[in-house]
Amino acid sequence: MLKRKKMPKEFWAQAVECAVYLSNHSPTRSLWNKTPQQAWTGRKPSISHLRVFGCMAYAHIPDQKRSKLDDKSEKYIFVGYDVSSKGYKLYNPVTKKMIVSRDVVFDEEASWNWNDEPEDYKFLLFPDDQDEPSDIASPPTLPITLQQSTFSSSASSSEGPRGMRSLRDIYDETEELSQSFNNLTLLSIS
């Protein structure tokens, strides 16, 4: 199981535990094609929850443990079944911690690349330019010639859009009301 997913030898204990779990859920000839668990408990075990050892698993992060914009799942490696609950044992290779979770989505074809080192981001630091004067280059100025469009007439270019009045015209045509409103000025448009 470890060789198939190219996992390190540190997971041999989890691989043995998973192999025993799978053996107890597999039929044997010595028990007349019954599983050891079926012989012990008298009922046939379910195998719908069985997964490939070492495959990629994505465990759900509860709302209480994440903020609004955080990811809703984390990437783990499946390393076995929990005997005390209906959960899966998962290993996080980044934090190197084990968790048990029931809310898991599996990618049984994928496996973790153990040979890659974690991504090391290199940043380029710029020196302080505060002491030195900076020469800021301005874009070259080009002579721009404006040509009048053949589609517009000279009358329409001097006026604004049709049905609109300038703010200056509105102020010129309005009459100020009496000052009895405690410095509140109301405008009347005629």
In a domain, 62, yes or no: yes
In a domain, 172, yes or no: no
Cα 81 from Cα 55, distance rounded (Å): 13
Cα 76 from Cα 86, distance rounded (Å): 17
Cα 129 from Cα 124, distance rounded (Å): 15
CB atoms within 10 A of CB 77: 23
Give me the torsion for CA of 64, 68, 72, 74, rounded to 10°: -80
Cα 106 from Cα 57, distance rounded (Å): 4
In a domain, 83, yes or no: yes
CA 108 vs CA 50, 53, 86, 120: distances in Å: 11, 8, 19, 28
In a domain, 41, yes or no: yes
Name the DSSP letter for residue 5. Answer: T
Q: Give the pLDDT of the chain (190 residues) as one tens digit per residue.
A: 888 888 888 999 999 999 999 888 888 888 888 888 888 888 888 888 999 999 999 999 999 999 999 999 999 999 999 989 999 999 999 999 999 999 999 999 988 887 765 555 566 666 665 555 555 556 556 555 555 444 444 445 556 567 787 888 888 888 776 555 555 555 666 5
In a domain, 136, yes or no: no
Query: Which pLDDT does position 52 carry in this prediction?
Result: 92
Among all chains, which residue has been given the structure tokens 């090391």?
A: 120
Which residues lie below 8 Å from residue 56, measured CB to CB, with a gap of 6+? 75, 76, 77, 78, 106, 107, 110, 111, 112
CATH number at residue 57: 2.30.30
Query: Which pLDDT does position 152 carry in this prediction?
Result: 47
Reduced to 3 states (helix: H, G, I; strand: E, B; else coil), residue 155 is helix
Q: What are the tokens at 53?
A: 């050892």
Query: Which pLDDT does position 127 carry in this prediction?
Result: 61
> In the chain, how many domains are there?
1
In a domain, 13, yes or no: yes
In a domain, 155, yes or no: no
Q: Going along the chain, which residue ranges are E strands?
A: 55-60, 73-81, 88-92, 97-101, 104-111, 175-176, 187-188
- Contact status, residue 91 vs residue 76, Cβ threshold 8 Å: yes
Whole-angstrom distance between the N-terminal and C-terminal Cα of the chain? 89
Structural domain for 94, as ranges: 9-111
In a domain, 183, yes or no: no
Residue 81: what are its φ and ψ, rounded to 5°? -115, 140
